[in-house]
Chains A and B, each alone.
Chain A
Amino acid sequence: GAVVSQHPSWVICKSGTSVKIECRSLDFQATTMFWYRQFPKQSLMLMATSNEGSKATYEQGVEKDKFLINHASLTLSTLTVTSAHPEDSSFYICSAKGTGSNQPQHFGDGTRLSIL
């Protein structure tokens, strides 16, 4: 149980384009979803937290107009990297958490984003 699907797993695109990454909880309802960014050989950096039907809460230093997050349902959140540039290239990971403070976060497999 508690499967989180993240799609696509790898995307390469030209500078200036927008890229959408989907995160789905397949067998549970995710009241809260999280988006992380991970640089090589480093830990995860939380970008934003989103609750279903609400605006996302962004961490300090994360541009909300650059990284658009939508959490339209209890099973789907999307991250759109707008007007992507090479410095946005990274590994992006989502996680989903069910209701209750004692529910752990379950992670997707990540998306490798490469901007040329």
Chain B
Amino acid sequence: AQSVTQPDIHITVSEGASLELRCNYSYGATPYLFWYVQSPGQGLQLLLKYFSGDTLVQGIKGFEAEFKRSQSSFNLRKPSVHWSDAAEYFCAVGVWLSFGAGTTVTVRA
């Protein structure tokens, strides 16, 4: 069975600082991995996806994620956070998405 764990429920980061959100997955084969972002009261927007190939994936809004098979991880990173990055972030795995519980990101001035 496939599953996703996002260990951090809530992260607070200062504007301009770097951000890393953790995601660990359980999957039987080479996984399809996704990161989505959700602003309050809105649907989900796809930030980036990994299917195969280069393990460092570039996404929209300056985000990137690195697939590490040995660690079963797909962590999301951004070098310099903007106030508009405050949102809920979901990691998901599989063709039929299994979502993690989400990580709430708060950005302080």
Name A's B-contacting residues (CB within 8 A). 4, 6, 34, 42-44, 46, 49, 91, 93, 95, 101-102, 104-110, 112
Contacts and interface: CB of A to CB of B under 8 A. Distances in A.
A49 B100 CA distance: 19
Contacts of B42: 109-110
B94 to A, nearest CB: 10
B87 interface: no
Contact of B43 (A42, A93, A102): A93
> Is chain A's binding surface mostly helix, strand, loop or mixed?
strand
A95 B34 CA distance: 14
Nearest to A57: B96
Interface in B74-103: 90, 95-97, 99-102
Given A101-B95, A107-B36, A112 B101 contact: no
Given A102-B32, A102-B51, A107-B36, A43 B99 contact: yes
B99 A104 contact: no
A107 B44 contact: yes
Contacts, number: 43
Contacts of B44: 44, 93, 95, 107
> Is chain B's binding surface mostly helix, strand, loop or mixed?
loop
A107 B88 CA distance: 15
Interface size, B (range): 10 to 19
Given A101-B32, A102-B32, A110-B41, A43 B101 contact: yes
5 contacts: A6-B43, A42-B102, A43-B101, A46-B97, A95-B44
A110 to B, nearest CB: 5
A109 B43 contact: yes
B17 interface: no
Q: Which of B44, B45, B49, B90 has the most CB of A within 10 A?
A: B44
B49 A104 contact: yes
Contacts of A43: 90, 99-102
B46 interface: yes
A109 B34 CA distance: 18
A8 B41 CA distance: 13
A106 B46 contact: yes
